[in-house]
Structure 1
């Protein structure tokens, strides 16, 4: 990653997460007192925020610092012991995590491991596993696809364009030149693919559809040019997986209704981006699609706020995190009721022998009443 992107998408997000947690932890961790019915008015009823115990965090390579530290902050704040498994694909970041974190956190183990070692690691008992990535076809907390920002390293970058090509292509070509010059390979602001294996995979994906923009590659530099594919079919390989690279396939549609129909015909994505000068169009996409997140007329910015939960839905992810949502993810909400032994006589209504009078009193004091009228359409 270029330094700007690393600062913005890795370091700054981790600092924000840490400061948000330090500023609010005393409030987040307090017992949460809840509404009581008539029967329990004299009881202490609350939610206790307990740690799960021993937590395993398995991080991917696309954001090798952010996706280790952000969940780690919440897990430690919630009182857990943590084992971290960084990605073996980003060796320098893995080494940094393994060397630096144990110097500051005594209840932390970093396990540099590949697939065989991770398989053995999972034979141990963990109380909670936070996994980022795709595993045996099931995407656990998050998964995503690629674009030019953080080349090959996106959490929620644009992965597929659904638009009228004649309007979009000239704008994309102009933007690429404006960002990276006439030769993006020479630009200090354009990143590289993480390794040879991913590079060759990206190369194969370029054979989907027709390369309209870019397409140049350099295996010695792990370079894939910012590329736009047109005439892409839904059955093409690039449409079946996370891209993790600077390749944007475009599916040509006639109008917004057809675009929405296409989105809804596939698994629900991590994020939907809708661009239009007409707010009604953006809202239409928001209302008629389902995704982990949504961003109108921008990309990625929904990830930067600790006040928004980040995560997928269905195949794109289970669970959310960021800010208080990270703390909640690693917290067991223990349901607690504390009654006084001196009020045991009040419990006689619940004990046999039963009768209609007892049932009536229990119902009257325990039932949740509906407020207002209900209209059936």
Structure 2
């Protein structure tokens, strides 16, 4: 084909980013009367990424395949395309469109690729981003380098934890459900005996408290940053979440994690935790939690999640007794072990052996994928 390519055309218009100019074209079609939705805009961007911006014909057919609804739209589509791209008519109404490979998942467009030399074509870039994101999701966070940790930190922003719910004591009005006798009777009296609508109600729900107890001892130091970022997402999503760190002592860090920016929140938490990468006294720390906060109501009916590998400096009998006390108060107890999902792991540590009889869910917690699974476990607890 002769004339400017689609890529050259895009660069000629004030050097705007290609995605911005392509979305502008889709919205120009919407202004011209075509039914172009946000989903079609995204599909159009994916289709163009497959055919490439170097061929005007490919961009034309990518848009025609994704942004038109019927043959009646073709004429207006051609007019807008001609006006938007260089002003030269596109006489391809009877031309067979080029073959377009199946689009990659849209999630590949939403995140940055890992640092380093990137692929040469946009198609390769999208595929590399998708595969790189998936590989990073499955990687053990303790084995990541600095660049990979920075990318993982951005991925945490995509997590949206949901707090579990519990039945409330009070009932709330509903259009269906059990008949609300008193409300129905009051309605009849208000109408002076005339028949009126029957009132219904159902039992309401309340957010159940989530308590996160994070081991920050030496054996867990490689996971502490990621676990605190996960805790930050819980605190931001559910105000009833409480977070403590456990090492040689117990530290309440919920207030620090209420800072909206995650990096500032972690700095604030680090400033109040005195026992980073020290020893482990899980039994004593859990006893301090139960004596000071748990029995007063924080653990009562809550979902309590412990993040630890189970290495205990003191005798396991203390930890077993405190876990028994915790299980009697909590609605559900979840133990997250970073070694749980690794091949060949056996729960033989004395602390784990003492705690497991009092644990409802024993899950892995070493990768971003396992963090996503943990969120589901907590939401349905």
Return the structure number with greater strand share. Answer: 1
Q: TM-score, normalised by structure 2?
A: 0.27
Which structure has more relative contact order (CA 8 Å, sep 6+)? It is 1
Larger Rg belongs to = 2
Return the structure number with greater helix share. Answer: 2
